[in-house]
Amino acid sequence: MRVSRLLVACLVCTAFLAVVIGPAAGAAGKTELTFWSWRTEDIDAYGKFIKVFEAKNPDITVKFIAYKNTEYNTILATALQGGTGPDIAQLRSYGGMEALAAAGYLVPLDTTTVPGLAKFPKDLLKGATNRHDGKVYGVPFAIQTIQVLYNKAIFDKLGLKEPATWDEFLKLGATLKEKGYIPLANGGKDGWTLETLFGGVAPNFYGGNDFANDVIAGKTTFNDPRFIHALKKMLELRPYMPPSFMGVGYTDMQMMFAQEMAAMMIAGSYEVGTFERLNPNIKIGVFPVPGEKAGDGGYVAVYVDGSYGINAASKHREQALRFINFLATVEYGQMFADELSQPSAVPGVKPNHPVLAEMLSLAEKKSTPHLMLVGFRFEQPSGSTLLQTNLQGMFSDKLTAEQVAAEIQSGLAKWYKPFQK
């Protein structure tokens, strides 16, 4: 009898302790979300962002995993196709996101599940919208612009100023070369860097938005003389690019500029933070590529760099939505801009970095779409693939500008309906 009473008492105590201790012990049972990205250089920054979220959501931990930029798309697509992958994924913009959404691998988002989306302009949301169903599948995280970054110290030392015309820009390159500097860090080994060069230069010679709107609508083609003229103007930069520039890769370009061997680089706004990490003493200036006459040109190519989405196979959708909602806040956007020195896509965020503020100011004055990314990267062969490959051929003297234009037009006509009329 005594044993029975003792046993009952122990059971009661055990149940009581389970109730009292249970919630505290639950800390060991937190929900862990996995978050995949292609930004290996941002691991420390995302660690800081995640800590802010976890402090407000003590029942959730977030594990950030970054993969090599050039391998990320394949790794993510393979995982999603297999029914695995992360809870939250950093998604490429436009066509890079659309294929995953169309296959049903992503969770559609709206202002009910993510109220912060209501504040995003429609143009920004296009980068995370599936054209076929019109639904949004991600929260945009950055706006990027393309222009000339230059080393202020070198310019001041040589008494140089920002050019107002294309001829002045070329003369600037000649002066820098004469003084022992590499005028432009831009190389051609990695095709996508030539597309970036195109984004900075070509709009100023094909007519900016006039041509871009016409070709996207199918009112003209890439055989348009305006486009061919823009390609030919790009070739005028070759004397001012690094020696053997077709063998110069992206990291080489970054190091040339950061180490002050090169005075200029036509690049995206995302480079500012990287350059300042590589060389904390560097002083960066910025100007748009000028046109043939003063007042012409000055276009700044703009695009949404990517978004954050939720894996449809996630077993923690409710927690993932809480994290996605955090990523849509001004608080997060401001941290993103300040920590990474990149323009946040979240409305209401103002960059404190003077170079970023100037970049956005230039874009507000005269912006144009980063053409292939925004308009022609939805199916294969994509406009970006065609442009990159053929620009490499043109810069290597294997193709003429006319041949490049014809190859791009022929490739896109295989799937782009406005070109099939």
Same structural domain, 139 and 181: no
| Residue-level pLDDT at 28 | 59
Comparing CA positions, the residue from 33, 36, 100, 101 lying closest to residue 68 is 36
Report residue 26's pLDDT band, with 50, 70 and 90 as the boundaries. very low
Q: What is the pLDDT of residues 202-249, one digit of tens each?
A: 999 999 999 999 999 999 999 999 999 999 999 999 999 999 999 999
User: Does 18 map to a domain?
Assistant: no
State how far the alpha carbon of 30 is from the alpha carbons of 65, 199, 238, 334, in Å: 18, 45, 56, 28
How confident is the model over 41-45, as a mean pLDDT?
94
Per the CB < 8 A criterion, the answer to whether 187 and 242 are in contact is yes
How confident is the model over 317-346, as a mean pLDDT?
96
Same structural domain, 350 and 260: no
Where residue 171 sits, what CATH number does that domain have?
3.40.190.10
| Residue-level pLDDT at 317 | 97
Q: CA 85, CA 61: separation in Å to the nearest integer?
A: 17
Report residue 17's pLDDT band, with 50, 70 and 90 as the boundaries. very low
Tokens 């040589």: give the residue.
Answer: 158
Same structural domain, 168 and 284: yes
Same structural domain, 200 and 338: no
Same structural domain, 256 and 318: no
| Residue-level pLDDT at 387 | 98
Q: CA 43, CA 47: separation in Å to the nearest integer?
A: 6
Per the CB < 8 A criterion, the answer to whether 200 and 389 are in contact is no
User: Does 24 map to a domain?
Assistant: no
Same structural domain, 202 and 217: yes
Q: CA 197, CA 184: separation in Å to the nearest integer?
A: 11
Same structural domain, 182 and 287: yes
Q: CA 352, CA 350: separation in Å to the nearest integer?
A: 6
Joined together, the tokens standing for residue 230 give 């823009």
Same structural domain, 190 and 62: no
Q: What is the pLDDT of residues 331-341, one digit of tens each?
A: 999 999 999 99
> What is the 3-state secondary structure of the chain?
CHHHHHHHHHHHHHHHHHHHHHHHHHHHHCEEEEEEECCHHHHHHHHHHHHHHHHHCCCEEEEEEECCHHHHHHHHHHHHHCCCCCCEEEEECCHHHHHHHHCCCECCECCCCCHHHHHCCHHHHHHHECCCCCCECCEEEEEEEEEEEEEHHHHHHHCCCCCCCHHHHHHHHHHHHHCCCEEECCCCCCHHHHHHHHHHHCHHHHCCHHHHHHHHHCCCCCCCHHHHHHHHHHHCCHHHCCCCHHHCCHHHHHHHHHCCCEEEEEEECCHHHHHHHHCCCCCEEEECCECCCCCCECCEEEEEEEEEEEECCCCCHHHHHHHHHHHCCHHHHHHHHHHHCCCECCCCCCCCCHHHHHHHHHHHHCEEECHHHHHCCCCCCCHHHHHHHHHHHHHCCCCCHHHHHHHHHHHHCCCCHHHHC
Q: Which structural domain range is residue 282 located in?
A: 144-303+359-420
Same structural domain, 353 and 365: no
Tokens 């691991």: give the residue.
Answer: 43
Q: Which residues contact 420 (CB under 8 A, 6 or more apart)?
A: 413
Task: Count up the domains in the chain and report the number.
Answer: 2
Q: What is the pTM of this model?
A: 0.85
| Residue-level pLDDT at 221 | 98
